[in-house]
Amino acid sequence: MASIDRADGRLGLSQESGTPPQSDRRDAATGLNLVQAGDHNMRVTLEALRRGGARTRLELAETTGLTVPGIANILRRLTADDLIEGEGGLRSQSFAIRPGGAYGIGVDRTESGTFLLAVDLLGTVLFEEHHAATGTRETADVVRASTERAARLAPTGRLVGIGLGADPRSQVLREALAPLPVTIERDTVAAAMAERQFGRAGADDSFVHILLGPSVQAGMVIGGAVFDGASHRAGLVGRMRTGTDGRFLDDVASTRLLPGSDPEAPAVARWIDDAAEHLTDMIIAVSAFLGPRLVTVGGRLGEPLLNALTARLVRCRAERMGGPTQPYWLPDLARASFGETGVALGLAALPLVEALLPDPRRSFRAGARALD
């Protein structure tokens, strides 16, 4: 039977003859053994500190559902790994994530070059830089140089890994960067992760992130978990037929069709109006199925254009909700928190999520609380 090990707050099993070795015993409800459950509890504790700031042992126990002795053991591990630091006296001591203690580097490659960004567990950007490099060897050299720069900026921290956007060249670049640990993920998932980890969305939020680019795509997070679909095909909304003219969304709202960068220019203003009308049709369709609380709009447009498009979308939303044949409810709509840097920020966060935090891309989710 399952029980609580009062020493560390993790799942334990009765000591009966014929039971498997302690590390191999699994909880019937979750399928996790003791080592996996302990790792999950560590991640949940670190996430509680990341989102809630400095906390005492008792406050962390209340937040995570773990025992105070269990929290104490986890805090000792995290302190020994230089991921957190204690503040105050022994009886009233609180703990907080140590700035720069662990960080990831995101590598966002586009047609115009490579954008790199390093971020720590607190969401503090250590540096961001753009390079014209597009070839695999050039990009690998740039990434290696960026790891050295990050090491100088956070000399007592550690690089957890590199996040790369998924494209036909990603695997070759991963091999070129060996032995550095590399995570590969779709741009849409990365941009949605940036919003969930550091932006407007909460840990268990439901939202859709529209990523504008050569093709219009959407990252979907439902109840805090990334929904990526079969064969990672969720969110390929650019091939939806939208508007009264039934055009493909990509044939209207692709950034390749932008006639300029000044939202006041007549041709650009027409693109904004047309794109907003067609994007609103897509938002209505997606919202009818998923019921998200929020829709965010981001992409590599530049701040003035992104602001103008978002404002037009907000007006379209209000107009549609007021129409007699239109939906009476649509989710809130806002500009993405990070705009052009969103993909790189999400890619930089992915190694941190894989190694240290609850991963919203995993099929197993125990929510925001630890296993008890």
Gap between the terminal Cα atoms of the chain: 13
Rounded Cα distance between 48 and 55, Å, is: 9
pLDDT for position 8:
38
Q: Residue 353 above 70 pLDDT? A: yes
At the top level of CATH, which class does the domain 102-189+344-356 belong to? alpha beta
- Contact, 258 vs 243, CB < 8 A? no
pLDDT for position 92:
76
- The residue-averaged pLDDT of 90-107 equals 91
CATH 3.30.420.40 positions along the chain are 102-189+344-356, 201-336
Rounded Cα distance between 82 and 121, Å, is: 12
Q: Residue 17 above 80 pLDDT? A: no
- Contact, 142 vs 176, CB < 8 A? no
- The residue-averaged pLDDT of 153-176 equals 92
At residue 252's C-alpha, the angle toward residues 320 and 226, to 5°, is 70
Rounded Cα distance between 96 and 82, Å, is: 11
| Residue with more model confidence, 366 or 227 | 227
> What are 4's two structure tokens?
């609580």
182-to-140, 228, 350 alpha-carbon distances in Å: 12, 20, 10
Per residue in 224-276, pLDDT (tens digit) is: 999 988 888 899 999 999 999 999 999 999 999 999 999 999 999 999 999 99
Rounded Cα distance between 75 and 8, Å, is: 11
Rounded Cα distance between 218 and 228, Å, is: 10
* CATH-assigned architecture of domain 201-336: 2-Layer Sandwich (3.30)
What is the bridge-based pairing of β-strands 55-56 and 217-222?
Answer: unpaired
- The residue-averaged pLDDT of 196-203 equals 92
pLDDT for position 26:
47
At the top level of CATH, which class does the domain 2-97 belong to? mainly alpha
Rounded Cα distance between 248 and 46, Å, is: 44
Per DSSP, the three-state class of 95 is: strand
Average pLDDT, the chain: 87
CATH 1.10.10.10 positions along the chain are 2-97
Q: Residue 173 above 80 pLDDT? A: yes
- Contact, 55 vs 48, CB < 8 A? yes
Q: Residue 296 above 50 pLDDT? A: yes
Per residue in 311-350, pLDDT (tens digit) is: 999 999 999 998 777 778 899 999 999 989 999 999 999 9
Rounded Cα distance between 355 and 118, Å, is: 16
Per residue in 35-88, pLDDT (tens digit) is: 677 889 999 999 999 999 999 999 999 999 999 999 999 999 999 999 999 987
